[in-house]
Each structure stands twice: as C-alpha cells, then as structure tokens.
A and B are shown apart, each in its own frame.
Chain A
C-alpha cells in the first residue's frame, strides 16, 4: 500500500533533475538557479557545504514498514545512517553528498515515495491527527481525505509554482491536534445533521510574524474538501505576493486584504467550481486492522512493562488493537532500529506507522496479544526515550544553529540539558504527559514555540557589552478549534539558568495539577503561573561577568562563545551573495560575447545587459528592490553614484541606459565596461556586513542619499552601534543618547533585532525629528541609517 500516488510525469522530471545535477557539477548552472531546481525536489543544502538533506513526503504522516526500511537503507548508504522524523510528519535523510542525491531519489521510487514538493513554493506535506482512524474520540477518520487530496494536488502542474509554500492540515475533532489555525488551510472534522464535513480555517501561520488562522466556513460537507482547497490555491496563485519572500504566505494576503475582501476573492473562485461533483475526491479505503501474524507471541512482565504500557500504549477504537507511541531522541531513528521495527510491524500489515508532530513515531494496529513482543523490541532500540515519561519525548526543538544559519542558540543542547535536569529530579513528569515544552533557536518557529505551554526562543543576552546565549520565555500557547492562541512572551533567561527554571516552574505546576487546584493550565497561568515565571526569572537574573565565568557565555552544545558574526549576517550574506552572483556571471558571460564581433546591434544588447547587471548587482546590499529596469538605474544613481560609492564619471552612461535607446551604448562601450569593472572591484572589496572597502582596506562610509539634496552633504563618517539583543525601549533610549551626543548632519547606523525593535525604534527616531534614511533587513536583524537633524 501507499499513502499517495506520484504523477507519472515525476520520472521525466527526475531525469531532467539528474542532467541538471551534472551541469551544476560542471559549473554550467549557477547555484541560485540550481537551488530553485533542487528545493522543488525536496533537496536542501545543509550548513556544511556540499551536503544535502532530502525531505520525503508522508501524506497524513503515513509511512509503511516497507517504505521505512527502504528510507533507512538509503540513509545508511548515502547519508548519515539515520531516518529523521520531523515536526511536519514526514521523514528526512540527512548528510547526503551531491552524488548521493539521485540514488536516494530513485531508490524512493521503488517504494512509491517522493521528495518532490518537500520544499519550494508548493503544496507541502498534508498533516493529520496522528491517531486519526484509531482514536476513541474522533469524529471520523480524516486520513483518507489527506491522502486523496495529496494525490490530487501533486498531479496538478499548477501546484508547483505558487507564490509561496501552501500548508494544509486535517484534525480528527475539535481538539484540533493538527493545529489547523497555524496553517494556510485547515479542516476540522465535524458532523452536522448526520452529514460528515469540516470546519475550515485559513491564513494562519507561525514563523517570525505569527498569525492565528481565521474561520472560513463553520461547516462544509466533506465532499467539498477539494473544491475549497482548489479555490484557495487559485486565489492565492492570482493574488499572492510573489515579490517579497518575507510576506508571501497566505496569512499576509489575509492581512493585506482584510476578511471581507479575502472572503470575496475566495468566493469568486469557489463559486465557479463548488457544484461540480466530478471534482469530488475519491477517498481510498484505509483499513485499520491487523493481519494474522506469523511470529510467536512473547510475553513480558514486571514493573517496567506495566509502566511502559501505562505511558505509551493506548487502546484503539478497533477492539483488541492498540497503538504505541515511540519517542525518539531528537527525531532520529538508526537504520538497524528501523530494520527491526519494520520487520515486526510488517507482520501486522502496512498501515502500521504514523509520524507525529513531536518528531516521534506512532505505531498502530498492533494486536494486544503482541504487546510483549513490541515491548521486547522497543525497549532494546538504541535511540529512544522510551524509558522516560512521555513529557520528555514530547519536547520539541528545532535543530538551531547546528544546521541552520539563522539560528542564534542551539536548542538541541538546551533540550538535552532540560531533559537531564528533569529526569534526575523527583518531579512526577507522568502527571503532565501532554505538556508542550517547545523551543526554537531564533524567532522563526521551526520548534513551534508559539503553541507551547512553556516555550523558548533564542536571543542574544548582553552583560557589560559581552553577549551570552539566552532565550525568551513564553507561556500559554493553546490549541483548540477556533480558540487557538499563541504563547505570550513573559520574560527572558540566560540559557544556563533555563534547566533550573524549567524544573522550578514545572514543580509548582505538577503540584497544582496533582491537587486539582485549577481546571486548566491557563487558569493556573492567570492565577499564579505567569507571576511565577516572572519571579523565577527575577531570581535567575544574576549573570556573571565574562571574567567571572566565561562558560556562561558559551551555549549548551557549543564549542565557543556566542558570536553574532556567524549568525544572521552569514546567512543573510549567503542569500545576498547568491543574488549578486547572477549579475556577476551575467557581466562575465556578456563581456566574453563582446569579443565575438556579433555586430553593432547585438553588441548594443550585450552592453545593455552588462550595464544593467552592473547597476543591479549591488542594489541588494542596500536592501533595495527594483521591479523595472528604469528603477534599477535610478536607484543605482541615487544610492551608489550620488553617495560617492561609485565615481560620478559613470552617471552619464547609466542615464543613457535608462533614458536613451540601447543602440547608443555602443558609443560608450568603454564606460560600460569601466563601470562593470568598478562594480566587480567594489563587490570584491565587500565584507560580510556588506560594507565596501577601498584598496587600502578602509571601510568606505557612504552617505545614503535619501533625497537629492543630501547628496550635496559632504561625506562624513558614520557612527555604528549594535543594539541587537537590546530590548524595547532600551534600544531606543540608547539610540537617542548616541544621537544627542552627535552633531547635526552626522550619520548613525544602528543594528536592531527584527520584530518590535524594528517596528518601534525608527518611528521613535523620526518623532524626535531625525531623518531615517534607510532600513535594511539582513536576516534576523536590521540596519537602520539615521541622519541627526
């Protein structure tokens, strides 16, 4: 069996991909273009150069034992030797070299798995409640819908080039364990007048700008799942913002349009197709039953077995069958463990595995009689947390700075330390099996801190100018159909205090929970929990100076001091450099063409391309985005020539490119090539903070010309201040103090964190009467250039 069918066209696409890989290796395809190609095939580059991870679609989180065995084998042959279970209910193979990519992809074909659409601007893996189909309290099984919808959507060619990724989830009941309000489109199973159907939510999303999804329908019949999805997809395709990667998800479309307009545009598409019954999904039958196994029944006894049963085994609605939760360490399953599990599970059939969102496995359709066998196998697996309370395995963390260039902190290290602190304490963690303790390495929510009961996301702490790893502390994330709410930030803590903090906080909550003091966790937070967080944070405020305790300035799991140099800038520059490369290559290739004596007409075109690329190449370093050629030239004049970064001897030729006909350029060939050379030299002088240097190594401090008149201002030095990690309003206070000490007409460049700081500080500076000349996002932070008035 399989959980989705791949389109036949996939094999041709793979052949093409294979050719592209070869061309890329030869240097004939530039990295940016290749990135676009490979990401669509679910192939991501890791932080280590030339190393990739491959993300494999598992519709409804389902994977069969046969498939799991194959993935583990491929992972072992071509990658790190493990299968990684992700928060997106899918699996990944890590550490694959470029030559391993095609063998993995072709190997997946053998078991009808695909990595196509693992990334890119497309319909992503469709999620469901991990116990849908077997749960005692579900409204109905939603897996068949997710499976049918996946197959349908990945057969539609227009699904592959949406403005941005499109995430869909299904929940089995109003508990909404697929957290539909955090996705682009979510369906929650309902029954109304004996009709199966769904409440529909849309335009939610987490990430650095989280938004809770909105109700689109309180009920649609289950036959309309495809129609709703298709209508939203088409609408998104038409109206989504393709220009800015940072504001292109459906949630931003909702925000831009407001409810009324959004719903109107949606209805426009939906009404066109909603009565077309030929579009109804054909639901697969997905039986939750067990085959008669051929292996002998084993027994297990003792406290450990009983404890395990209580913790990890639950009855299914199918009599005599049970489900088992298998908590993995950071989502990793070793090949040999995968082999053992697959062999065992295959005894009972192919519909026996789901991935859940806490990077764990769920085994289902196991006859109760075989629990002894299951226990004997599972307790001998190498890489699991099965000896601990479920709380431990439920903790979620992103990989953070280990593999991700945006990461500030290393949540894997923190997670391990919290785990050690809690498991070596006397806390009764079995009292809180469903507690969500989630952490992310930065404000992006890969670790789902927004929906955490107690969440953390990485930040930079500072003491006397020294940076130490720290986390924001959040509480109160709540998941429930129509009432989902995101966790709120309460305070912050240095990473080294968090294990003790987590212990102290949970100790009180467990006590209240056991005593039944409050109806809900949220009542607890309101009555005392949030105050407790604050008082504990106040108690854990004493940060030693660097001299007193240098270790405090090193993150858990890190080898050296926290440093901003590797964060943000590096990642951002990487992205920026990708874009610059396109123009650099264009300059190079087109310059070669000039030698071929193609005639004046052709030369004019070539020169225009060189001029255009020269002008555009470094705009991105100033955060400038031009959507017409004319704008490229105008921005270039304003920000590079008027500012004195580039000699004004080139101004005329740029204006020729902008205002006159291309043919004239042949008359200015030397100037065009001169500019190309100047821009290339400038590029080569650029440092990681995107500043340019002169030949002598001095940083060129340009004045950004926001208005024509300021170009008349003589060059003056720019004062630089780094206020990353300084919270509001202290970042403004400090900015203001620096400005006060400056003379009118001088320039100040500050670095600010994303979020509140960038939203507030520039405005406050303007209210003081100063000029904000530019603000540029560089990954997780911003640079703001101010002129003192």
Chain B
C-alpha cells in the first residue's frame, strides 16, 4: 500500500515521529480495532483512533443516546439523543476521517456472541461500564488470544491495563466480579466526565502503540489514577499461575454471562 498525497499530509505528524513513520502509519491504516461500548471511555477512544486513521473500527453497543450521557460521552451530541449510539458514533467518525471503515454492532457483547464479535479484529478495547462485561471481555480475549485494553472509571478514579497473550490478565488480579451491590452503581456514585477522557485516550494510545510496535505497553502493570490528587501510579502486577482463566489449570473454559446491575453512567 502506498500513502496518497492527501494521506501524507493528513498523517504527517505521525510520519514525522521516529517510532511511527510511514511504515507505522501504514500499519495503522491496515489495522482493525473493536471498541466495546461507545460511552464515556469508548467515545475518546473512537475519536482518536478515527483521527489516527485506524483502517477498520468496529463498535459494539446496544444502547441509544440518553441526555445523561452527554456530560462525558463526547462523541454523542445533543441532537443525537434517542439515536443508537453505534450510529451516532459512526456519523462522527465518518466526518473526522473518510479513510476509516466503520462496522457497527447494535447489540450488547454477551457470552453467546462475543467470540464472534472479536474474531476479526487485531485489538480490542473494553469501554464498558460494568464488571460482568469486563470479565467477559477479558475471558474472551484470553481464550481467543486477542490483545486488549482494559479500562474502568468511577467518581474521580480510573484504572487501565493492557493485556497481550502471555501477560497478566484482568482475572489474574481480580478473581471475579464483586458481589452484586457491593460496589455502588455508577449512577449513585457519579463520575467526573473528564476522567473518561484521560483514561480513554490512554487506551487509544495503547492501541496505536500495539499496532505500530512503538514503545512499551501497559502490560503487567495497572495504571491507577486518583484525579483528586491528580496522581498516577503504575502498580506492578504478575501473571497469576492460579488464574482461573489464563493459569496453568484454568477453571473457566466456557464463557457465561454474570448478572450485574447495568450502570447507566458509562
């Protein structure tokens, strides 16, 4: 593939980067990334990946845009209220960058469909709002051998990590979802919208680094943000040999849906 003149101009600031260059940009243009959830985290992820020229962007979301989303889900705008989020997101992506092919999945990622959803993509992004989904995505990616970025936000806090086959997975650290109602739901707890931006753009950067091979990924470490003090900590984590999904003797060999209140505050 050869970059067109228009592309050379559009992506010149990437091409200039020593670690990306024209070769890296071509990789980006050929990459396929699936974003599960186009809410608080998914919105910045999609916007930046679209601008970066990721060749194919898949979006999984079964929701429609609600007015309470607008405080942080920056890809959706006021006139979009009532529109399926996947459609609203797709329209913005097309406007940002016609190079990007958008595939929409107007459904929730569930045990029955997730393997099918992720199978054609090079990198998966967890932009979901609830623990069952996060564990489901982790398990599916581990089983399918897909790299993915985990992200989560609540109140003024956030965390993210990147998993690639062989590195620590989400279940290595957190065995299972907390019991129902043990953590406040997001609608009760609230979240600072900008936190979604910080974490989402971090996940987007991880995806681009993975695609181009630039630098070191957030693997085997959990990046934890305390925005009230505006402190980032990199907590070292290890692959757990007793991990129920990626350990030596995995106990989870089949995907199943776990029950949890769905947060309306993604």
Q: What 1/0 mask marks residues of chain B from 7 to 23 whose CB sits below 8 Å from any chain A CB?
A: 01100100110100111
| Chain A residues, Cβ within 8 Å of B16 | 729, 732-733, 736, 764
CB proximity of A469 to chain B, nearest CB, Å: 20
A residues 728-748 in Cβ contact with B at 8 Å: 729-730, 732-734, 736-737, 740-741
Q: Is A261 an interface residue (CB 8 A)?
A: no
Of A729, A737, A769, which is within 8 A of B3 by CB? A737
Bound CA span A768–B20, Å: 11
| Chain B residues, Cβ within 8 Å of A764 | 16
| Chain A residues, Cβ within 8 Å of B9 | 730, 733
CB proximity of B2 to chain A, nearest CB, Å: 9
Q: Which partner residue on chain B sits nearest A734 by CB separation?
A: B8
A residues 197-247 in Cβ contact with B at 8 Å: none
Q: What 1/0 mask marks residues of chain A from 732 to 775 whose CB sits below 8 Å from any chain B CB?
A: 11101100110000000000000000000000100111000000
B8–A730 CB distance below 8 A: yes
A730–B18 CB distance below 8 A: no
A733–B15 CB distance below 8 A: yes
CB proximity of A5 to chain B, nearest CB, Å: 61
| Residue of A729, A736, A741, A764 contacting most chain B CB atoms (<10 Å) | A736
| Given contact pairs A729-B12, A733-B8, A740 touches B18 in the complex (Cβ within 8 A) | no
Report whether over half of chain A's contact residues are helix, strand or loop; otherwise say mixed.
helix
Bound CA span A405–B8, Å: 33
| Chain A residues, Cβ within 8 Å of B21 | 736-737, 740
CB proximity of B8 to chain A, nearest CB, Å: 6
| Chain B residues, Cβ within 8 Å of A464 | 5
Q: Which partner residue on chain B sits nearest A737 by CB separation?
A: B22
Bound CA span A734–B23, Å: 13
A740–B22 CB distance below 8 A: yes
CB proximity of A309 to chain B, nearest CB, Å: 54
| Chain A residues, Cβ within 8 Å of B3 | 737
| Chain B residues, Cβ within 8 Å of A729 | 12, 16
Q: Which partner residue on chain B sits nearest A462 by CB separation?
A: B5
Bound CA span A646–B194, Å: 67
Bound CA span A373–B8, Å: 66
B23–A740 CB distance below 8 A: yes
| Chain B residues, Cβ within 8 Å of A737 | 3, 8, 15, 21-22
Q: What 1/0 mask marks residues of chain A from 493 to 532 whose CB sits below 8 Å from any chain B CB?
A: 0000000000000000000000000000000000000000
Bound CA span A732–B18, Å: 12
| Residue of A729, A733, A767, A768 contacting most chain B CB atoms (<10 Å) | A733
A767–B22 CB distance below 8 A: no
Bound CA span A729–B9, Å: 9
Bound CA span A767–B18, Å: 8
CB proximity of A649 to chain B, nearest CB, Å: 44
B residues 1-50 in Cβ contact with A at 8 Å: 3, 5, 8-9, 12, 15-16, 18, 21-23
CB proximity of A684 to chain B, nearest CB, Å: 40
| Chain B residues, Cβ within 8 Å of A730 | 8-9, 12
| Chain A residues, Cβ within 8 Å of B23 | 740
Bound CA span A717–B9, Å: 28
CB proximity of B41 to chain A, nearest CB, Å: 32
Bound CA span A599–B8, Å: 68
A733–B18 CB distance below 8 A: no
Bound CA span A733–B21, Å: 8
Q: Which partner residue on chain A sits nearest B14 by CB separation?
A: A733
Bound CA span A740–B3, Å: 13
Bound CA span A734–B18, Å: 14
Bound CA span A767–B23, Å: 17
CB proximity of A314 to chain B, nearest CB, Å: 52
Bound CA span A733–B3, Å: 12
Bound CA span A107–B132, Å: 101
| Chain B residues, Cβ within 8 Å of A740 | 21-23
| Chain B residues, Cβ within 8 Å of A741 | 22
Bound CA span A730–B15, Å: 10
Q: Which partner residue on chain A sits nearest B3 by CB separation?
A: A737
| Chain B residues, Cβ within 8 Å of A736 | 15-16, 21-22
Q: What 1/0 mask marks residues of chain A from 720 to 732 whose CB sits below 8 Å from any chain B CB?
A: 0000000001101
Bound CA span A730–B6, Å: 11
| Chain A residues, Cβ within 8 Å of B8 | 730, 733-734, 737
Q: Which partner residue on chain B sits nearest A764 by CB separation?
A: B16
CB proximity of B20 to chain A, nearest CB, Å: 10
CB proximity of B220 to chain A, nearest CB, Å: 29
A residues 298-349 in Cβ contact with B at 8 Å: none
| Chain B residues, Cβ within 8 Å of A767 | 18
Bound CA span A737–B9, Å: 12
Bound CA span A730–B12, Å: 7
Q: What 1/0 mask marks residues of chain B from 151 to 180 whose CB sits below 8 Å from any chain A CB?
A: 000000000000000000000000000000
| Chain A residues, Cβ within 8 Å of B22 | 736-737, 740-741
Bound CA span A737–B23, Å: 8
Q: What 1/0 mask marks residues of chain B from 127 to 151 whose CB sits below 8 Å from any chain A CB?
A: 0000000000000000000000000
B12–A768 CB distance below 8 A: no
Bound CA span A730–B23, Å: 16
CB proximity of B127 to chain A, nearest CB, Å: 32
Bound CA span A764–B3, Å: 21
Q: Which partner residue on chain A sits nearest B11 by CB separation?
A: A733
CB proximity of B53 to chain A, nearest CB, Å: 14
Bound CA span A464–B15, Å: 20
| Chain A residues, Cβ within 8 Å of B18 | 767-769
CB proximity of B212 to chain A, nearest CB, Å: 13
Q: Which partner residue on chain A sits nearest B23 by CB separation?
A: A740
CB proximity of B29 to chain A, nearest CB, Å: 14
Bound CA span A769–B21, Å: 13
Q: Which partner residue on chain B sits nearest A465 by CB separation?
A: B5
Q: Which partner residue on chain A sits nearest B8 by CB separation?
A: A733
| Chain B residues, Cβ within 8 Å of A769 | 18
Bound CA span A764–B12, Å: 14
CB proximity of B231 to chain A, nearest CB, Å: 33
Bound CA span A41–B16, Å: 51
CB proximity of B30 to chain A, nearest CB, Å: 16
Bound CA span A741–B18, Å: 15
CB proximity of A741 to chain B, nearest CB, Å: 8
Bound CA span A464–B4, Å: 11
Bound CA span A666–B8, Å: 61
| Chain B residues, Cβ within 8 Å of A734 | 8
Bound CA span A740–B25, Å: 12
Bound CA span A741–B15, Å: 13
Q: Which partner residue on chain A sits nearest B15 by CB separation?
A: A733
B residues 67-100 in Cβ contact with A at 8 Å: none
Bound CA span A729–B18, Å: 14
Bound CA span A401–B16, Å: 35
Bound CA span A730–B16, Å: 9
CB proximity of B265 to chain A, nearest CB, Å: 40
| Chain A residues, Cβ within 8 Å of B12 | 729-730, 733
Bound CA span A188–B9, Å: 48
Q: Which partner residue on chain B sits nearest A464 by CB separation?
A: B5
Q: Which partner residue on chain B sits nearest A732 by CB separation?
A: B16
Bound CA span A767–B8, Å: 20
CB proximity of B48 to chain A, nearest CB, Å: 20
CB proximity of A348 to chain B, nearest CB, Å: 63
Bound CA span A724–B3, Å: 20
CB proximity of A110 to chain B, nearest CB, Å: 63
Q: Which partner residue on chain A sits nearest B5 by CB separation?
A: A464
Bound CA span A644–B21, Å: 34
CB proximity of B207 to chain A, nearest CB, Å: 22
CB proximity of A381 to chain B, nearest CB, Å: 52
| Chain B residues, Cβ within 8 Å of A732 | 16
Sample of 11 more A-B contacts, CB < 8 Å, known A733-B15, A740-B22? A729-B16, A730-B8, A730-B12, A733-B8, A733-B9, A733-B12, A733-B16, A736-B22, A737-B3, A740-B23, A741-B22
A-B contact pairs, 10 of them (CB 8 A): A729-B16, A733-B9, A733-B12, A736-B21, A737-B3, A737-B8, A740-B21, A740-B23, A741-B22, A767-B18
Point out residues on A near B: beta carbons under 8 Å. Answer: 464, 729-730, 732-734, 736-737, 740-741, 764, 767-769
The 4 closest A-B pairs by CB, nearest first: A737-B22, A733-B12, A733-B15, A740-B22
